[in-house]
Amino acid sequence: MNLSLATDLYQLTMAQGYWHAGHTGQEAVFVLYFRRNPFNGGYSVAAGLAWAVDFLEHFHFSAEDLAYLATLRGNDERPLFRPEFLEYLGQLRFSCDVDAVPEGTTVFPLEPLVRVRGPIIQAQILETPLLNLFNFQTLIATKAARVVSATRGEPVLEFGLRRAQGMDGALSASWAAHVGGCHATSNVLAGRLLGIPVRGTHAHSWVMSFSSEIEAFEAYAEAMPNNAVFLVDTYHTLEGVRHAVAVGKKLREKGWKLAGIRLDSGDLAYLSQEARKILDAAGFQDTAIVASNDLDEHIIESLKDQGAAINVWGVGTKLVTAYDQPALGGVYKLAMIRDPGGPWRHVIKLSEQNLKISTPGIQQIRRFDNGQEYVGDMIYDTELGVKSPAVIVDPTDPTRRKIMSANLAAQDLLIPIFREGQRVYTPPPLPAIREFAATQLRRFHAGIKRFVYPHQYPVGLEETLHELKTRLVLQARGLAAPH
């Protein structure tokens, strides 16, 4: 589907500006990255690439798009866009090179998730849609990974459709939550379109529509004997567990099983422990206890520490809305520029805040591995290369440096996705992305996965790139002569 108008107006006004200034042949490099890990955490999980690939493959401006743009007016009520520029847009075809980290990669602040190189007009227009796709999905995948980590291996069901930010937000949240490790979703459309396993039971309204709770359970068991998970807290939770056991015995006589019960309110630690006793005493040791009720990684961790007898975790609102951090804050910055036939020129954006000073260069990430775990990442410029021995410099504190031993294995993370507008990469299926994300996280020290005061994984600029950046900052501030 063509969604090329899913961009901010100022991208198109700048595009007309580039066109009018005769810069259509100018080539640029932009990098997409974020400045801080979300949720005060120690890592993030990159997501959104598969959706970005689909967007870029369909990128063009249709006749209908151009007709709409022609209706827009400036402050003087005259057309905002010139007919000749709209004609140019109509002939524009995507021709950029795009490199990105594979979906599910564990990533860290200031590392480029995506690098776009090509005609400046195209690369500029792509800023907003790429940020939209990667910001939200990376945020949700990271939240899901944290929730999954908190359950210590027990499955997580994503129950967020009813609280998600619109239908499109719900779909992309289901995808990203699965990338982050969720086992299944309640979202049937996500199941159909994205191939995610779907799970669900019944609501309190089902129980309330019958004259008694046990009658409701019996009717549901008759209708859905192969999906017998009963919500037991409509009236009195532990009595509801006993009613579930009574119906479970009838199911067993007919060759079916009581698959589970669900707790959705109250003291989940205490109620799950008591429910487990009732189930086990009645011979239902294999019946699962599913818990929901505004769960997140912190509540789950607390329940685990209290010895809650919960087997499956349903997480909705606080997962799909990325509760307590509504946005990732990713940015897309110009890093290199050149005129037709000319050399590359490094460019930099200044700020009073050190963290907001951009990094120049055709950036790549090199991840170092000691054989047991990953030990550090280096952001380097492919034009400048890497000094030997490799030294990384903390971008926020240049006095902190680390020498990466020549004995370490190393891998560059950004891989080719498009070359001259042609896709050269096929996104793997979602189950493979999910497994890759889990495998990635297992290769990092447990300290970075703590929820409270996580360890800071070493990420730094390659020494030559750090020196260049420093020189450009000093020049921009009038403190050094141009090189």
Give the contacts of 377 (CB within 8 A, at least 6 positions apart): 108, 111, 365, 366, 367, 368, 392, 413, 457, 458, 459, 460
Alpha-carbon torsion 88, 92, 98, 100, what sign?
positive
* CA gap 364, 255 in Å, rounded: 58
Contact call for residues 109 and 35 (beta carbons, < 8 A):
yes
Per-residue model confidence (pLDDT) at position 288? 98
Q: Give the containing element (helix H, strand E) for 363.
A: strand 363-369
**Nearest in space to 146 (alpha carbons), one of 301, 292, 268:** 301
**CATH number reported for the structural domain that contains residue 202 in this entry:** 3.20.20.70
* 174 backbone dihedrals φ, ψ, rounded to 5°: -65, -45
* CA gap 182, 196 in Å, rounded: 10
Q: Please name the residue that has the structure tokens 């294999």.
A: 286
39 assigned to some structural domain: no
> In terms of residue numbers, what domain contains 313?
141-320
* CA gap 48, 130 in Å, rounded: 9
35 assigned to some structural domain: no
pLDDT one digit per residue (tens) for the chain, 483 residues: 689 999 999 999 999 999 999 999 999 999 999 999 999 999 999 999 999 999 999 999 999 999 999 999 999 999 999 999 999 999 999 999 999 999 999 999 999 999 999 999 999 999 999 999 999 999 999 999 999 999 999 999 999 999 999 999 999 999 999 999 999 999 999 999 999 999 999 999 999 999 999 999 999 999 999 999 999 999 999 999 999 999 999 999 999 999 999 999 999 999 999 999 999 999 999 999 999 999 999 999 999 999 999 999 999 999 999 999 999 999 999 999 999 989 999 999 999 888 899 999 999 999 999 999 999 999 999 999 999 899 999 998 999 999 999 999 999 999 999 999 999 999 999 999 999 999 999 999 999 999 999 999 999 999 999 999 999 999 999 887 676
**Nearest in space to 258 (alpha carbons), one of 292, 282, 234:** 282
- Written as one letter, the residue type at 1 is M
Supply angle C-alpha 358, 30, 440, rounded to 5. 85
Contact call for residues 294 and 266 (beta carbons, < 8 A):
no
Contact call for residues 268 and 293 (beta carbons, < 8 A):
yes
Strands across the sheet containing 409-412: 401-404, 390-393, 459-462, 374-381, 363-369, 409-412
* CA gap 245, 289 in Å, rounded: 13
Task: Report how far apart, in Å, the C-alpha atoms of 83 and of each of 13, 22, 61, 221 are.
Answer: 13, 16, 14, 66
* CA gap 385, 74 in Å, rounded: 46
Give the contacts of 15 (CB within 8 A, at least 6 positions apart): 85, 89, 121, 124, 125
277 assigned to some structural domain: yes
Give the contacts of 277 (CB within 8 A, at least 6 positions apart): none
350 assigned to some structural domain: no
172 assigned to some structural domain: yes
Q: Say whether the peptide bond before residue 389 is cis (omega within 30 degrees of 0).
A: yes
The reply to whether the predicted model has a pTM over 0.85 is yes
78 assigned to some structural domain: no
- Region of 465 (left: φ > 0; alpha: ψ -120 to 50; beta: rest) is alpha
Q: Please name the residue that has the structure tokens 């750090």.
A: 466
466 assigned to some structural domain: no
218 assigned to some structural domain: yes
How many structural domains compose the chain?
Answer: 1
Per-residue model confidence (pLDDT) at position 483? 63
